[in-house]
Amino acid sequence: MSLTLSIITCSSTRTLAEDSAGAALDQRIADAGWQLVSHVVVKDERAQIAKAILAAASASDIVLTCGGSGLSLGDVTPEATADVCERPVPGIAEAMRAASMLKTRRAMLSRAVCMQRGLCLVLNLPGSLKAATECFDAVADQFEHAVSMMRGDGH
């Protein structure tokens, strides 16, 4: 199945050129044979993240946010996601945390969410290269089925 994905890196300190986690996700998307629609970096500001999610969701099956899901007071990606999405999909975020807990107990500190906006899935990934790719790898095998279900194609 052909999927379209967008990446939104949420960082007040990184540029697109410095976005190693986003670049690694770009490569994983290409390796899966899926299409990357857009990849942007936005500041860790709730309104900017929400606006970027809205733009990306209108053109993508899946939007991956990268960063801003920890415990720092500036980490607002889950809140921005909830601002523009309708339906929680908790199992995906739970699966990421479960897989990450096998590597580090600090995974329990993640506030990442996965939500549905219309026919688009929005998934919060961690900002570090290692954590972002490990979380992506833990759940990406379900993306095609998730999109198929959202489209009403059934099981």
Q: What is the CATH number of the domain that holds 90?
A: 3.40.980.10
Predicted confidence band of residue 144 (pLDDT cuts 50, 70, 90): very high
Residue 155 domain-assigned? no
pLDDT at position 150, please?
97
Going by the DSSP 8-state scheme, the letter that residue 32 receives in this structure is: T
Residue 154 has pLDDT above 80, yes or no: no
Residue 15 domain-assigned? yes
- Sheet strand arrangement including 35-42: 35-42, 4-10, 62-66, 120-125, 114-117, 87-88
Residue 96 domain-assigned? yes
pLDDT at position 1, please?
86
Residue 51 domain-assigned? yes
Predicted confidence band of residue 98 (pLDDT cuts 50, 70, 90): very high
The tally of domains found in the chain comes to: 1
Element (H, E) at 150: helix 143-150
Which residues does residue 87 pair with via DSSP β-bridges, in sequence order?
116
Residue 104 has pLDDT above 90, yes or no: yes
Distance CA 138, CA 136 (A): 5
pLDDT at position 114, please?
98
For the stretch 48-61, pLDDT in tens is 999 999 999 999 99
- Residue 17 CB burial class (10 angstroms; 0-12, 13-18, ≥19): exposed
Q: Please compute the mean of the pLDDT values over residues 3-15 and round it to a whole number.
A: 95
Residue 52 domain-assigned? yes
Structural domain harbouring 128: 4-150
